[in-house]
Structure 1
Amino acid sequence: MQRRRLVLAAAAALAAPAFVRAQTVEKPKLSIAVGGKNLLYYLPLTIAESLGYFKAEGLEPTIVDFAGGSRALQAVIGGSADLVSGAFEHTLNMQAKGQRLRAFVLQGRAPQIVLGVNPKTLPNFRTVADLKGKKIGVTAPGSSTNVMANFVLAKAGLKPSDVSIIGVGAANGAVAAMRAGQIDAISNLDPVITLLQRSGDLRIVSDTRIVAEAEKVFGGPMPAGCLYAPQAFIDKNPATVQALAHAMVRADKWIQAAGPGEIIKAVPESYLLGDRAVYIDAFLACKGALSPDGSFPEAGAATAVRALQSIDESLKDVKFDLAAAWTNDFVKRANQKYPKA
């Protein structure tokens, strides 16, 4: 009898974590909007999904892919998605419009966005000022790639209205637009950038895949891809948000420890754009810009505000609540739970 009680007690102890987890995750089935899931910018999201990290935390997310970050943002504002895997600066942009969004786990510590020109249509390009009157391809108008283009243009004395911004997506469509000469420049991410580089269809002007260059461009640490959600969702579902942070921190750490071969096996074949070697080169180019542990830099929000205010006159007098745009609380607990990859 004593032995049976011990066996039952042991079985109950083993079952308890799953039971508790099921009770504490308020919303196991949820939707995540993302703009360009195939991009290395969002590699931690893909890894958390493909390696079962979300499932291990009791989550069953539906990841909905859009043409760019601005459209993913619209999905959460419109109520068709619970949260976004997107660029950090959107939390500040929307704060200025009265929307309370908060980032809670980082995927990229630098934007990884590259602005480059088309050697076919601009063979004599010398400076950014030469882009006046030209067509610039971005993932989607209003997305972080558009913000980056505007920021570089502003430094050269150009206004957003001095160029034509064209949405070309974040995959083969972007590559085709460049190669066909439909756009004179592009602001995009990997693997698109590396593919265009390898084929000689891109001349790089500004490269924020390099953390030091990103900090030079923006004047400080510029947080990039992250998970962010309406503050109301975070308040209502704190255990769900914590579970999301756990999964993403595990993914961040796994990526830092992984080799190119492991990355290739973990991502869908379609992400490779038909060339594994290009994807490996792209991963190696971006790896340093991916977050090692999901933490936001203390000065990151201030850097993002400066960047936004430099390109948008309507934001210059806005008093931002920087602390309300991000939190490391969930990430700190995730790093305690998963100190290693």
Structure 2
Amino acid sequence: MKVKMLIAAAVAMLLLGGGASQAAPEKSKLTLGVGGKPLLYYLPLTIAERKGYFKEEGLDVTINDFGGGSKSLQALIGGSVDAVTGAYEHTIRMQQKGQDIRAVIELGRFPGIVLAVKKSHEGKVKTAADLKGMKIGVTAPGSSTNFFVDFLIAKAGGDPKASSYIGVGGGASGVAAMEKGEIDAISHLDPVISKLQADKAVFILADSRTEAGTKAIFGGSNPAAVLYLKEEFIQQNPQTVQALVNAFYKALKWIDKAKPQDVVATVPESYYLGDRALYEQAVQNSLETYSRTGIIPESGMKSAYNMLAQFDEALAKANIDLKKTFDDRFVKKVSK
């Protein structure tokens, strides 16, 4: 009788787990890097943390928030963090540099990045190429926000190297940099962009917060935030990676059904930039960007590569195997 009860309990746990890893994580205490945690680009991370999904998967995750995506990537390469929520493009650029970094779940299917220009330049700046000689704010040089504007400038026939890039961080500092006149344009994300729009400090030149906007810019989908790790870590700690993917998958499913008010009630008040109603609107503007499946489609991988190749001649000449940038085994397992 006891045996039957134990079996029934085990089956119930598996059903409730919804595909969660059956074995305990090899490494339960982890350090995860991110470049601008309050940004809506990284909302799935905050949801996984606040909803307790990491703990449900047997993980004790410490989150280190850096000034931008390039800095969290450096931390991964240097070994001070185990995993990163960052831009998919980094997996491509690192392969070019001989570093085997792989995404294991897609968090954002559209970048959600916006190129906005100081209001006083309206009429003068009509395309990204007109930013020549100007100061452009990005979360951090070498980050996805930097890549985005580099691509737009090159696409418009300009030279990305003819502009200056200023790291403004991932939160209120970006708003301050524009409103203090320290930059002429900004490539950034919500809620920063929505705040600048509300303050009538900028006009929008390119907007990838929606499917239509992303297609207009890239010609198709373009993966954004992902969870990526060193291939060596993935091979040595498959159950840990599975647990991480399970937690993020739960976050994506929660976001898919959430209303803006649900998100506002879940994140820390410090994310609001002092305006709860504005943050709620920013959430509404961004809900379309999040991945529905966690899977990066092949077309998305090619789109990301083509974006980088547009302005990076060395990468364009490199032999890049896109299949090695995304390991889909873990997300496929949890979605069964």
Quickly name the TM-score band, shorter chain normalised: over 0.9
Q: What pairs up with 1:53-72 in 2 under 5 angstroms?
A: 53-72=53-72
Aligned-partner residue type, residue 279 of structure 1: Y
- The answer on whether the counterparts of 2:21 and 2:243 sit within 8 Å (CA) in structure 1 is no
1:279 aligns with: 279
Aligned-partner residue type, residue 283 of structure 2: F
Do structure 1's residue 108 and structure 2's residue 108 form an aligned pair? yes
Whole-angstrom CA distance in 1 between matches of 2:254 and 2:22: 25
1:33 aligns with: 33
1:267 aligns with: 267
- Going from structure 1 to structure 2, the CA distance change for 1:190 and 1:23 (only over 3 Å counts) comes to same
1:244 aligns with: 244
1:168 aligns with: 168
Aligned-partner residue type, residue 151 of structure 1: F
Partner deviation per Cα, 1:119-164 (whole Å, 9 max, x = no partner) = 1355643333321111100000000000001001101211122111
Whole-angstrom CA distance in 2 between matches of 1:85 and 1:221: 19
Do structure 1's residue 300 and structure 2's residue 300 form an aligned pair? yes
- TM norm structure 1: 0.92
Aligned-partner residue type, residue 168 of structure 1: V
Question: Once the 2 structures are TM-superposed, how far is the Cα of residue 186 of structure 1 from its aligned partner?
Answer: 0.3
Whole-angstrom CA distance in 1 between matches of 2:310 and 2:130: 20
Do structure 1's residue 88 and structure 2's residue 59 form an aligned pair? no
RMSD over aligned Cα atoms: 1.9
Question: Once the 2 structures are TM-superposed, how far is the Cα of residue 292 of structure 1 from its aligned partner?
Answer: 1.5
- The answer on whether the counterparts of 2:24 and 2:58 sit within 8 Å (CA) in structure 1 is no
1:142 aligns with: 142
Aligned-partner residue type, residue 24 of structure 1: A
Question: Once the 2 structures are TM-superposed, how far is the Cα of residue 295 of structure 1 from its aligned partner?
Answer: 1.5
- Report SS of the residue matched to 1:249: helix
Percent sequence identity over aligned pairs: 49
Question: Once the 2 structures are TM-superposed, how far is the Cα of residue 262 of structure 1 from its aligned partner?
Answer: 1.2
- Report SS of the residue matched to 1:316: helix
2:202 aligns with: 202
Question: Once the 2 structures are TM-superposed, how far is the Cα of residue 305 of structure 1 from its aligned partner?
Answer: 1.1
Partner deviation per Cα, 1:160-185 (whole Å, 9 max, x = no partner) = 22111100011111001111111000
- Report SS of the residue matched to 1:108: coil
Aligned-partner residue type, residue 179 of structure 2: R
Whole-angstrom CA distance in 2 between matches of 1:290 and 1:141: 24
- Going from structure 1 to structure 2, the CA distance change for 1:335 and 1:164 (only over 3 Å counts) comes to same
Partner deviation per Cα, 1:271-330 (whole Å, 9 max, x = no partner) = 111111111111111111111221211222111111111111111211111100002211
Q: How many residues align?
A: 330
- Going from structure 1 to structure 2, the CA distance change for 1:22 and 1:300 (only over 3 Å counts) comes to closer
1:132 aligns with: 132
